[in-house]
Amino acid sequence: MNKKIYITTAIPYVNANPHLGHALEFIQTDCAARYNRLKGNEVFFLTGADENSLKNALAAEKEGRLVEEFVEEKRAIFKDFLKLLNIDNTDFISTREPRHFEGVKKFWQAAEKDIYQSDYQGIYCVGCEDFLKEEELIDGLCPIHKTTPQLVSEKNYFFRLSNFQKQLEEIYKNDVIKIIPENRKQEIESFIAGGLKDFSISRSKQRAHNWGIEVPNDDEQVIYVWFDALCNYITALGYGNNSPLYRAWWADSSTEVWHFIGKDISKFHCIYWPAMLLSADVRLPSKIIIHGFITVNSQKISKSLGNSVDIKNIIDKFGIDVLRYYLLREFSLAQDGDFSEKNLQERYEKELANGLGNLLNRVVALIERQGGKIKIEKNLLENVINEIWKKYDEAFLEFRFNQGAEAFLQLVGETDALVNQTQVWAIDDVEQKNGILSSLWISLANLADLISPYMPEISGKMKQSLGIKNNDKEFLGKEFEVKRIPPLFPKLN
């Protein structure tokens, strides 16, 4: 039975331009969305921009610009970035939109029984948009942003997170919300076991630089960015007016809800967000998929650290599908990974140009020698292809994108081996030759589907070369006309 799946990325701050860390999350989420569409599931894919952050206001002020103008420009840059990466999202939410303002205020009021006002003093990292504990600092600095936190003292509104200690323990003990990978779940359970403390959910307008969503019935305070931003997952669907979209894609318990996030914001998504939803009597997400960091010289790629990779240069040299493939092939969810253009080039040449690209050229050339048309009559690789799909599907159950890539690379190898072992070019028997060529063609047709979540443009070119139209899945007994196309993976200059 086909499923309905609502898939989201985290919404990044727009205080600076996007970097490779954003690309990793966008591409992983897009890969999962494309895979599920390929399997016949109905998918709604949301991404967006977090624009109410103090970080954005400070960045605009540093440039001497109006915040509204600054975030509008950056939002456009992020949208262009999604197009550059060939991200096939259904919707994009800006937290400055009326649907978001309306939904956040409704959510605040729904959770009001767990909200109270109190004085607070603590050390605050603007980069994290979060209060830190002394023991979390390294040499007095935020461990992620390497900056000195500010000492803040003021009266704020607080959310009674402590009320949800037992419920959250049970939720993760019973996988009501499934955290993937397992090591991230253990980190969250350990954090909960350490005791949950109430957290501040508002800021004075003065400290927020008069930027953000006003607290309902208090025009001196704005809503803290995380309590605001996390709501985007439901406000985008029309939570504020209980729209049909919201009822279909969130309120309906038969719809699966998946959040893709980075490990640095797991506390907010796995602890704050579920507690907030419980308080507001809104259903919980189904899965939270947490990726690690891409590093350069063993440091997290970060706007604040200034060590970003020039993505456009990489795409100009290798193509967008190759960057997508590399990020999905190289990095596993459970670990951080170090970006290397040298390693990317090695995978390009060995696995793509000399592997997949060369295989397509060989098979098309062999069929062209027979007149360029082929009637599909046999599949000598049926068992191999079925086993590959099984491995591939199993990898996607746990979002092991690297293992999904290993599966289709195995099929490239098995298909290439059939060409070499049979020496099909030297066979005179027409029926025998056609049976082998049919098998090779079917394998390539399956490869075109298998690679489509990773390399959608290359997949389309393969289907064009194989003569496949209208996403046909049934091949036996049908005739196809192949044609040569420019190399999928040209030689690098």
Q: Residue 221: which domain range?
A: 4-308
What is the Cβ-side half-sphere exposure of residue 451, based on CA atoms within 13 angstroms? 30
DSSP readout, 367-410?
HHTTTSEEE----TTHHHHHHHHHHHHHHHHTT-HHHHHHHHHH
335 assigned to some structural domain: no
319 assigned to some structural domain: no
CA distance 54 to 412: 50
325 assigned to some structural domain: no
| Torsion, CA 277, CA 114, CA 48, CA 268, rounded to 10 | -80
438 assigned to some structural domain: yes
Q: Is 145 a catalytic residue?
A: yes
Selecting among 105, 145, 269, 461, the annotated active-site residue is 145
Strands of the sheet containing 294-296, edge to edge, are 299-300, 294-296, 337-338
Are residue 278 and residue 394 in the same domain, yes or no? no
Selecting among 31, 125, 231, 270, the annotated active-site residue is 125
Selecting among 55, 74, 105, 128, the annotated active-site residue is 128
69 CB contacts (<8 Å, ≥6 apart)? 60
Domain harbouring 474, CATH code: 1.10.730.10
195 assigned to some structural domain: yes
Are residue 292 and residue 363 in the same domain, yes or no? no
CA distance 353 to 361: 10
Q: Which of 123, 100, 111, 93 is nearest to 201 (CA)?
A: 111
Residue showing tokens 């007994």: 477
| Torsion, CA 239, CA 244, CA 250, CA 253, rounded to 10 | 140
Selecting among 31, 142, 231, 270, the annotated active-site residue is 142
pLDDT tens, per residue, the chain with 493 residues: 799 999 999 999 999 899 898 999 999 999 999 999 999 999 999 999 999 988 899 999 999 999 999 999 999 999 999 999 999 999 999 999 999 999 999 999 999 999 999 987 778 777 776 777 777 788 788 887 788 888 777 789 999 999 999 999 999 999 999 999 999 999 999 999 999 999 999 999 988 899 999 999 999 999 988 999 999 999 999 999 999 999 999 999 999 999 999 999 999 999 999 999 999 999 999 999 999 998 876 666 665 566 678 899 999 999 999 999 999 999 998 888 889 899 999 999 999 999 999 999 999 999 999 999 999 998 999 999 999 999 999 999 999 999 999 999 999 999 999 999 999 999 999 999 999 999 999 999 999 999 999 999 999 999 999 999 877 778 999 999 999 999 999 998 7
Are residue 97 and residue 24 in the same domain, yes or no? yes
Q: Which of 288, 308, 328 is the last residue of a domain?
A: 308
Selecting among 185, 303, 433, 461, the annotated active-site residue is 303
Q: Which amino acid is at 284?
A: L
Q: Is 231 a catalytic residue?
A: no
Reported residue count of the chain is 493
- Number of domains forming the structure of the chain: 2
Are residue 387 and residue 269 in the same domain, yes or no? no
151 assigned to some structural domain: yes
CA distance 389 to 383: 10
Q: Is 22 a catalytic residue?
A: yes
Q: Is 31 a catalytic residue?
A: no
Are residue 292 and residue 143 in the same domain, yes or no? yes
Domain harbouring 217, CATH code: 3.40.50.620
Q: Is 303 a catalytic residue?
A: yes
**Are the CB atoms for 147 and 128 separated by under 8 Å?**
no
Selecting among 22, 185, 259, 461, the annotated active-site residue is 22
Are residue 300 and residue 348 in the same domain, yes or no? no
CA distance 16 to 21: 13
Helix (H, G, I), strand (E, B) or coil at 153: strand
Are residue 146 and residue 27 in the same domain, yes or no? yes
Selecting among 105, 300, 433, 463, the annotated active-site residue is 300
Q: Is 209 a catalytic residue?
A: no
